[in-house]
Structure 1
């Protein structure tokens, strides 16, 4: 049984599996430039972040109606339940949809219909995080936030994603200030392809509570010391980092170095349909590649709940479930006896 965990870095558009993409394309009369599922899946090989984004945004065109967004979210939640996910904080990119003529209410209501029943149907509590596309203007981000105001009861936080290099966090100071005025919490992608200085900006200028990715913080000892001291969580995505060439192989991934440094790292799947696996697959494969101990794997899971935007009673409930899972796992291991050969 997978370790109970929270997933804190998950783009719902990045859970669009090829089979669902073709089904929605047929329903909505959208022609995809691929002969079938296998050809599309073969296209999920990328040289860098931009090559991924090009395909990612192209496939979004199949998402048109509330029903489409509901089915997308439900497909993720069903898979996540099998991965041990007990809580999910889900990113969505409204600008990528409104630019195609899809109303922001269609997106939020469609996702919300699935999230409203996620705990009853899948045993997963959820939060929704509205992300701004950093390669779009700050004015566009502000307009998007204004358009989202009628739906703030469904939104917990704002985030910042898409092409990082050349689009520093300082560009979005005003929109994050406005989000705080509206009572929203804040996270941001930083230090994936962009430099460690972007992590500093996200902390000091955007006042974020979590850093998404954050790999390049390790290039700055002073930054690492601050992240450790202030217990700023990092939502790390190992499969994504390999697929987008941030690291060469899982064996080269810095996750173990992050844990050894005392950083509050968590493991997540980012865009699992594109990057080869969901969150428990990320955890188990990375643990095997890096030789992570069982204690380190439970630390990652505990970090995920502690870094979440859960209310304290629910967090405590999940941490108790995690502790019970570990106790049961250790009990099972202790009960396995080694056969002893008895001389005749």
Structure 2
């Protein structure tokens, strides 16, 4: 990974870097763009492989980590889907989700909206009930024990067909009564190239009619036009990534005027070569231009940083002030799908912390 990415080792005990880390960890924040399968650390991946008798093409954790050198989004997705093969039982999904929730709490996350990809698992013969049960049990236990709340966003894989998305939705809907307190949203992820938003217009219209909150990946490797189409054709409320919106001034002004949130993932953009140097990232320009940008980790096990690492790396590379870091945290809370009274509670916590 480029030299300007954050180290995962323990931070220094004193000095400016330690002060910055302490400030970021203390910021009450929400994480809105996190793929739970992308939080599967190599150590747990190996443990689950042993538990389930699955052979891995890597001999050691170190060898697997060395493979995390991606040329583009597709090269990452190939490894991501291969790693997901170790997730078989409810316990596997529980362990993965609980590991993320513990890390999120340590990073100062008060609320997480977690994306999950049922098609990645049902295509391997894992029942969708198993996927829901493991993830949901971890979210409920984490909220009871730590106070960190969580929602679920069921995401369709855009490289598959809309018919397959409809089938996945039909399989999941009988579980809505059981998990309706957690499952509040529908998303769209996987490879953008060749899979424009319009491909899923009918299924998103159906999900909107069912009362789901809607988000979609757009404008990461796809053009700014995909962001506009996600808004107009899919009727989404948030754009996941969206960094290429800047290429269309009219679209950018629309994002500012309507305060449509972008869930930006800076270290992911760096790792997937959306840009070559974090100092070139447009996060600061977007924020200072009035766009409601938020900072998130995307697939932190693969991209070398959880949400606090992303805040810190951006502060260092882009010269963000503490006030701007606090504004990013505020945006994350306001852009969440929490009820307004819960948002107000978190915003009061944030205001008190800044003071």
TM-score norm. by structure 2 comes to: 0.91
CA distance in 2, matches of 1:158, 1:47: 28
Q: Which position in structure 2 is the counterpart of 1:73? A: 97
Cα pair 1:21 1:59 within 8 Å, conserved: yes
CA distance in 2, matches of 1:111, 1:102: 14
Instruction: Encode CA deviations 1:60-106: one digit per residue, 9 max, x unaligned.
Output: 00000000000000000011111010000000000010000001110
How many corresponding residue pairs?
327
Q: How much does 1:224 deviate?
A: 0.4
Q: How much does 1:123 deviate?
A: 2.4
CA distance in 2, matches of 1:247, 1:121: 39
Q: Which position in structure 2 is the counterpart of 1:98? A: 122
SS of 1:97's partner is helix
Q: Which runs of 4 or more aligned residues in structure 1 lie more than 4 Å from their structure 2 counterparts after TM superposition?
A: none
CA distance in 1, matches of 2:138, 2:282: 35
CA distance in 2, matches of 1:275, 1:122: 26
Q: Which position in structure 2 is the counterpart of 1:241? A: 269
CA distance in 2, matches of 1:284, 1:41: 22
> Of the candidates 20, 41, 47, which is equivalent to residue 23 of structure 1?
47
- Please tell me whether Structure 1 or Structure 2 has the larger radius of gyration of its CA atoms: 1
Q: Which position in structure 2 is the counterpart of 1:334? A: none
CA distance in 2, matches of 1:158, 1:120: 25
- Aligned: 1:158 with 2:189: no
Cα pair 1:118 1:125 within 8 Å, conserved: yes
Cα pair 1:256 1:292 within 8 Å, conserved: yes
Q: Which position in structure 1 is the counterpart of 2:6? A: none
Q: Which position in structure 1 is the counterpart of 2:56? A: 32
Q: Which position in structure 2 is the counterpart of 1:115? A: 139
Q: How much does 1:172 deviate?
A: 0.3
SS of 1:188's partner is strand
- Aligned: 1:267 with 2:291: no
Gap runs ≥5 in structure 2: 1-21
> Of the candidates 78, 84, 87, which is equivalent to residue 63 of structure 1?
87
Aligned residues: CA RMSD: 0.7
CA distance in 2, matches of 1:181, 1:118: 31
Cα pair 1:77 1:122 within 8 Å, conserved: no
Q: Which position in structure 2 is the counterpart of 1:48? A: 72
SS of 1:130's partner is strand
Gap runs ≥5 in structure 1: 328-344
Q: Which position in structure 2 is the counterpart of 1:192? A: 220
Q: Which position in structure 2 is the counterpart of 1:289? A: 317
- Aligned: 1:322 with 2:350: yes
Q: Which position in structure 2 is the counterpart of 1:227? A: 255
Q: Which position in structure 2 is the counterpart of 1:88? A: 112
> Of the candidates 132, 140, 149, which is equivalent to residue 173 of structure 2?
149
TM-score norm. by structure 1 comes to: 0.94
Q: Which position in structure 2 is the counterpart of 1:170? A: 198
Q: How much does 1:35 deviate?
A: 0.7
CA distance in 1, matches of 2:89, 2:213: 28
Instruction: Encode CA deviations 1:238-263: one digit per residue, 9 max, x unaligned.
Output: 00000000011111111011012110
